[in-house]
C-alpha cells in the first residue's frame, strides 16, 4: 500500500509534524510512505526524517524562482478561498497559490492508495479536489471546539466527501458525530504514539518540574508560573523548566518577575529530544486552557513522570487517571494547581508510586500497537 500524508509544513518544529513523522516511521516498515508539504521554509527538516520516507514540498520558499504568474496566483487564491474558510487561512500561512495549485496537480497524478490530510484546511481541499479513486482520510490534531464557526460550517458541509476521519479523544468523536451525523465506522479514535525506543526513566528525585509546548496563550504558562510559586515558597531548591518556542516568552518572563521566581524558572527553548529532557525532571505540569490530545502527557508517562494538570478539554482527563498516574485539578484553578504540584514535591513516596503507574500506562501508546489500528482503518475504507 502507498500512503501519503499532506501536511502544512513538514520542515517545521511542531506537534503535528512530530506525530506525523512518527506515524510515517511505523507505517514505512510495511508500506511505501511519503510526506507532501504545502510549504518549505528551511533547507532541512527540524526533525529527522524517518528512513525510507520521502518528504517533498509543493512550494519551496527557500528558492527565489517564481513558479506562478500574477494571473495564476489570483486564480488559485480565489479557488482556495472558495473551499477553505478565512479563519483557517489566517491561522496557517502555508496555503499559498503555488502550494494549492501543486496540491491540485498532485491529487490528479499521484499513485498513492491512501491520502491523509493533517489539518482542516487540507482535509477540505482533499474533499473538494481529490479523484474518487483515492481513499481520503482526514486527521484532527486539535479538536472540533477549537475551530471558528466558519470552519465548523465548512467541515459540516464537506467532510462527508472524505472516506474516514480520525480524532484523538472519545469526547471529540462524540462532537464530530453530532456535527456530521455520521455513525458506523466513518469516525475512529486513534491516539498519538510515543517515539519508538526505550527512553531512560526518570529517577523522580531531581528537584525539577517540566512543562512543554508552544509558548502560546492556550498553554497559559503564566498561570503555571503562578502555581509553581507556591512550590518555591516552601522548597526554593525546586525549578521549573519550560520547553518550547513562541511569541509569548515576554509574558511568561513578566509573570516570573511578578512572582519573584527568577532564580527558579528557565525557558529552555526548542528541543529535538523532549523525552530525554523530561527524564531529567520529576513532575510534568500542564496549565493549558484546552488540549487537542496531550502528547506531552504521554511522553512524560513514557519516562515515568506523574502529571499535574488542569482537567481541561479534551485530552488530560482521558489520559491521566486521577490519583493513580497523576492529579487533575479544576480548569483555571491556579491555586489548586499549585497545591497539587506541592503535594507531589513533598510526598516522595506518592510521586514514585504515581510515576510507576504512569510508566505502565504508557504501554497503551506504543507505536507497534497504534500502527495496526491505522492499517485496519485504511483497509476498511479502501474496500
Average pLDDT, the chain: 94
pLDDT above 90 for 101: yes
What interhelical angle do 249-258 and 221-234 show, nearest 10? 30
**Mean pLDDT of the region 53-58:** 96
Judge if 2-193+366-382 and 208-365 fold alike in CATH terms. Answer: yes
Q: How confident is the model at residue 383 (pLDDT cuts 50, 70, 90)?
A: low
* Residue 289, pLDDT score: 94
CA neighbor of 39 nearest in space, from 103, 126, 99: 99
Least confident of 167-171, 290-294, 375-379: 290-294
Q: Percentage of the chain surpassing pLDDT 90?
A: 86
Please give the CATH number for the structural domain made up of 2-193+366-382. 3.40.50.2000
* Residue 66, pLDDT score: 64
Distance CA 70, CA 61 (A): 17
Contact 89, 81 (CB under 8 A): yes
**Could you say which DSSP state residue 199 is in?**
P
Could you write out the DSSP letters of every residue in 159-198? GGGSSEEEESSHHHHHHHHHHHT--TTSEEE-PPPPPSS-
Q: Would you give the distance in Å from CA 24 to the centre of its chain?
A: 15
**Mean pLDDT of the region 369-374:** 95
- Return the CATH fold of 208-365: Rossmann fold (3.40.50)
Q: Where are the domains of the chain?
A: 2-193+366-382, 208-365
pLDDT above 80 for 217: yes
pLDDT digits (tens, 9 = 90+) for 269-313: 988 889 999 999 999 999 999 888 888 999 999 999 999 999 998
pLDDT digits (tens, 9 = 90+) for 244-277: 988 889 999 999 999 999 999 999 998 888 999 9
Distance CA 328, CA 316 (A): 8
* Residue 333, pLDDT score: 97
Check the CA dihedral 99-160-292-35 and report its sign.
negative
pLDDT digits (tens, 9 = 90+) for 316-363: 999 999 999 999 999 999 999 999 999 999 999 999 999 999 999 999
Amino acid at each position: 500500500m502507498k500512503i501519503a500524508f499532506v501536511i502544512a509544513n513538514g520542515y517545521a518544529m511542531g506537534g503535528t509534524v512530530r506525530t506525523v513523522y512518527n506515524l510515517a516511521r511505523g507505517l514505512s516498515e510495511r508500506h511505501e510512505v511519503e510526506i507532501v508539504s504545502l510549504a518549505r521554509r528551511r533547507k532541512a527538516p527540524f526533525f529527522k526524517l524517518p528512513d525510507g520516507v520521502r518528504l517533498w514540498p509543493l512550494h519551496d520558499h527557500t528558492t527565489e524562482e517564481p513558479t506562478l504568474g500574477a494571473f495564476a496566483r489570483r486564480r488559485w487564491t480565489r479557488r482556495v478561498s472558495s473551499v477553505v474558510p478565512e479563519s483557517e487561512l489566517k491561522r496557517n500561512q502555508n496555503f499559498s497559490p503555488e502550494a494549492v495549485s501543486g496540491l491540485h496537480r498532485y491529487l490528479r497524478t499521484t499513485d498513492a492508495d491512501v491520502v491523509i490530510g493533517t489539518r482542516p484546511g487540507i482535509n477540505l481541499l482533499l474533499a473538494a479536489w481529490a479523484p474518487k479513486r483515492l481513499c481520503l482520510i482526514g486527521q484532527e490534531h486539535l479538536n472540533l471546539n477549537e475551530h471558528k464557526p466558519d470552519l465548523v460550517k465548512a467541515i459540516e458541509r464537506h467532510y462527508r466527501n472524505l472516506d474516514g476521519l480520525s480524532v484523538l479523544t472519545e469526547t471529540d468523536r462524540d462532537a464530530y458525530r453530532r456535527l456530521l451525523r455520521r455513525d458506523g465506522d466513518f469516525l475512529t479514535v486513534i491516539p498519538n504514539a510515543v517515539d519508538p525506543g526505550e527512553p531512560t526513566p526518570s529517577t523522580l528525585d531531581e528537584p525539577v518540574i517540566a512543562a512543554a509546548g508552544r509558548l502560546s496563550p492556550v498553554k497559559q504558562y503564566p498561570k503555571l508560573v503562578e502555581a509553581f510559586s507556591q512550590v518555591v515558597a516552601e522548597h526554593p531548591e525546586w525549578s521549573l523548566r519550560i520547553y518550547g518556542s513562541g511569541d509569548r516568552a515576554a509574558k511568561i518572563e513578566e509573570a516570573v518577575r511578578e512572582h519573584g521566581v527568577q532564580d527558579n524558572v528557565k525557558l529552555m527553548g526548542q528541543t529535538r529530544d523532549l523525552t530525554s529532557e523530561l527524564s531529567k525532571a520529576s513532575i510534568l505540569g500542564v496549565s493549558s486552557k484546552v488540549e487537542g490530545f496531550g502528547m506531552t502527557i504521554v511522553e512524560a508517562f513514557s519516562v515515568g513522570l506523574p502529571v499535574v494538570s488542569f482537567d481541561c478539554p479534551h485530552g488530560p482527563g482521558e489520559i491521566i487517571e486521577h490519583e493513580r498516574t497523576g492529579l487533575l485539578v479544576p480548569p483555571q484553578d491556579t491555586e489548586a494547581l499549585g497545591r497539587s504540584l506541592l503535594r507531589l514535591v513533598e510526598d516522595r513516596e506518592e510521586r514514585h508510586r504515581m510515576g510507576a503507574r504512569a510508566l505502565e500506562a504508557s504501554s497503551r501508546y506504543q507505536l507497534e500497537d497504534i500502527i495496526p489500528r491505522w492499517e485496519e482503518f485504511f483497509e476498511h475504507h479502501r474496500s
